[in-house]
Structure 1
C-alpha cells in the first residue's frame, strides 16, 4: 500500500535527521499462507525502534533482532520466518533486509508522483535462502522512468536472483460531499485506512481542514459550480448533504463521470424517486451509472451511531472496489484470499 510506504519514508527522514541508520524489511516471497502477503514492509531504525508491520505482530521482534547485522556491516540479507510452528499460518516468509537511505532526488520524485496520483514499481532482488547476505536490494521506478535504489552500493541482479515486483497504485480517493457531524466521522475513519480524502462542504457554510482531521482538502462548493476531475478510477464518492434536492443536483452533475462507487445517505423510499427524477434531468443516463449508486449507503450490519454508519459505508466501498460479496469469514473452508 502506498500509504504504508509514505509512513516509512516519513519516519526514515526523521531518523536520518537524528543521525540514525535505517533498515527496510520487505516480505518478498511466501511459501504457503500467512496473515499478510508479499509486498508488506516495516522500517527499523538504528536504535531498534520500528514503524509498520509485516504480520499480526509475531514476526516483528525477530526481524528487529536479526536486522542488527545489517546495521553493522551495511549489507543486505535474506531471512526466513517459519510461521507453521509459531503463527499457525502454514507458511514460510522470505524477508529482505536492506539498508535504507532516502536521498533528496528520490524524495522529490516520490513527492511529485504521489501528488500527481501516479503509480510506481518496486523490484526487489533476493534468493530463497535463510540468513544469507549479498548484493540484494530494491529498485524503484517512477512513471517518468527514473530509477532509484536505497542502497549506497550498486545493486547487480544476478541470474540466480529471484525478483519480487510490486506496482503501488495511488492512494484510494474518497470524496465526501457534506459538512455535518457524520461526514467528520467518515473522514476520520477513512483516514486511518490511508485513503486520500477530499471534503466538499456547502459554499454557504464553508469548513476548513481543522474541521476534518485526516482530510487532504476541504472546499466550499455548490452543485452548480463544482468541477470534478480524475474520478474515473480508484475513487469513491459519498453524498451526505441531508438534503434531497442537493443530493439530486450532485448526482446529476456526476452522471457524466464513472467513479467506482457513489453512496448516498437517506431512506430506501428515496431511491426510486431519485432514479425517476434522474431520468427526467438526464434522459440518456446509462444503466452502468445507476449501478454505481448505492443508496442507502452502507452494509446492513445494524449500524446506529455516526461512527458505526461510517464503518458500514467504508465496508461497502471495500466490497465494491474489491468485487466481493460480504459474508461471514467463518463460513470459508478454503483460504480466505481465494474466496
Structure 2
C-alpha cells in the first residue's frame, strides 16, 4: 500500500502543477467481503485520470462521477455501495464481493493549506511509520463529513487539524494504540448528541530490500521488487558490476566492501536482505555484519550446506547465531515453487520475503479456512468519551 500512496502523491503534485482539480477517494469501512480494505486510496482528477484503486475496477467509474460532483461542491461526500444483494444491478456495478463498502470522497481544493496529500507529501521518502485519521459519519451520510484531519509519524512529526476536547483526546489515544498494535482500526465516538467514526489507518514504510550481489540474476529480483514498490539497495564489491545503468529500477546501487555496507543504510523493522554475490567470503562477512541487527528476513542463495558452513565458521570466529537469529536466516532462500530460471528464482525469493514480513505462512489460500484479510478493523468499535 505504501507504493500506492507514493504514486498518489506524485500524481497529485503533477495535477496541481497543471491546475487540475483533484479528489481523494478512501475506503473508510468495509462490512463483509471486498477487494480492497479500509485505508485503500485512489486519486481522481477532474479530467478522469485515476491513480490507485478502491476496488477491483468495478467501483471506479461510479466513484469518478461522484468525485466530480464533490469537486464541484467542494465538500467531502460519503458514498456507500451495498453488494450484499445478489442482484448487482441494484447499484449499477458488477461487484460480486457480497459486502458493503463505504467510500469517502474528499476534494483537494487549492484553498486548503493542508489536505491529506500535502500531509503525506511531507513524509515522502522517509522511513517513518505513519497513522492517518479520517473522520466520517456513516449514520448521517447527508451531514458534513469532516474527512482526513490527523497525520502522526513515529518520528515525532504531527499534524492535528482538530480542536482540543474529549474527542481529540480519545482519537489520539487510539492513534497511539495503532502504533503499538501495528494495525488499522475503525472506531466510533460520541460527538455531542451525534456520533462520528474514525478510520485510524496505520501505514508502515515501504519494505527496504538489501541485495548483496550485482550479477545478472539480481536484475529480475530488482524488477519485481520495484513493481511492488519496495526500496531496493544493490551492493557489490565489484565496480564493473555495481553500476546504476545495470539496475535502473533500483533505489541505490553501491560499490562497497562487506564491512562498509551498513554505512550506507540504516536497517529497521521493515528491512530484509538477500545474499547472492556468489562470493562465499563476501556473503559470510556481510552475514556477520547483519547478524546483530536482527532483520526479520535474511536470505542466503545456495544450498543448505553452504549456510551451515557459514554459520559454523562464524561461530568458530566468535560470532555465534542465537536460536532466534538463526530462525530469521533463510537458506536456501525462496519458497518451493519449482523455480529454475533466474526470473523464477527471483519470484520465489520475493514471495518468501513478502510472506515472512507479513507474518504469513506462504501456503495456498485454498488451504486457509479463515478470511483472506484480517477483519479486526472491519468491526466498528464503540468508544465512550
Instruction: Using structure 1 for the length normalisation, give the TM-score.
Output: 0.90
Matched residue SS, 1:313:
helix
Matched residue SS, 1:336:
coil
The Cα shift of 1:110 comes to: 4.6
Change (3 A) 1:287 1:334: closer
**Paired residue for 1:146, among 148, 152, 158?**
158
The Cα shift of 1:105 comes to: 7.7
Change (3 A) 1:104 1:201: farther
Task: For residues 45-86 of structure 1, give each alpha carbon's deviation from its aligned partner in whole angstroms, at most 9, with x where no partner exists.
Answer: 001221110111111111112222112111111001123334
Matched residue SS, 1:170:
coil
The Cα shift of 1:108 comes to: 8.0
Hey, what's the Cα distance between the residues in 2 that align with 1:5 and 1:147? 18
Structure 1: stretches of 5+ with no match in the other structure: 150-155
CA RMSD after TM alignment: 2.5
Matched residue SS, 1:249:
helix
Aligned pairs for 1:1-339 (under 5 A) are 1-84=1-84, 85=86, 86=88, 87-101=95-109, 110=120, 113-129=123-139, 132=142, 134-143=144-153, 144-147=156-159, 158=191, 159-205=194-240, 207-228=242-263, 229-337=265-373
Change (3 A) 1:8 1:262: same
Contact residue 176 and residue 240 of structure 1 kept, 8 A: yes
Q: Which moved more, 1:267-276 or 1:2-11?
A: 267-276
Contact residue 238 and residue 262 of structure 1 kept, 8 A: yes
The Cα shift of 1:285 comes to: 3.0
The Cα shift of 1:300 comes to: 0.5
Change (3 A) 1:258 1:249: same
Change (3 A) 1:332 1:286: closer
Change (3 A) 1:110 1:40: closer
Hey, what's the Cα distance between the residues in 2 that align with 1:186 and 1:66? 40
Contact residue 6 and residue 124 of structure 2 kept, 8 A: no
Change (3 A) 1:25 1:320: same
Contact residue 197 and residue 215 of structure 1 kept, 8 A: yes
Matched residue SS, 2:284:
helix
Moved over 4 A (4+): 101-112, 156-159
Hey, what's the Cα distance between the residues in 1 that align with 2:139 and 2:118? 35
Contact residue 265 and residue 297 of structure 1 kept, 8 A: yes
Task: For residues 171-195 of structure 1, give each alpha carbon's deviation from its aligned partner in whole angstroms, at most 9, with x where no partner exists.
Answer: 1111111101111110110011111
The Cα shift of 1:272 comes to: 2.1
The one of the two structures with greater contact order (alpha-carbon pairs below 8 A, sep at least 6) is 2
Hey, what's the Cα distance between the residues in 1 that align with 2:23 and 2:259? 51
Instruction: Using structure 2 for the length normalisation, give the TM-score.
Output: 0.80
Matched residue SS, 2:233:
strand
Aligned pair count? 333
Task: For residues 69-106 of structure 1, give each alpha carbon's deviation from its aligned partner in whole angstroms, at most 9, with x where no partner exists.
Answer: 11211111100112333422221000000112577888
Change (3 A) 1:213 1:82: farther
Hey, what's the Cα distance between the residues in 2 that align with 1:177 and 1:292? 17
Q: Which moved more, 1:221-230 or 1:274-283?
A: 221-230
1:153 aligned residue: none
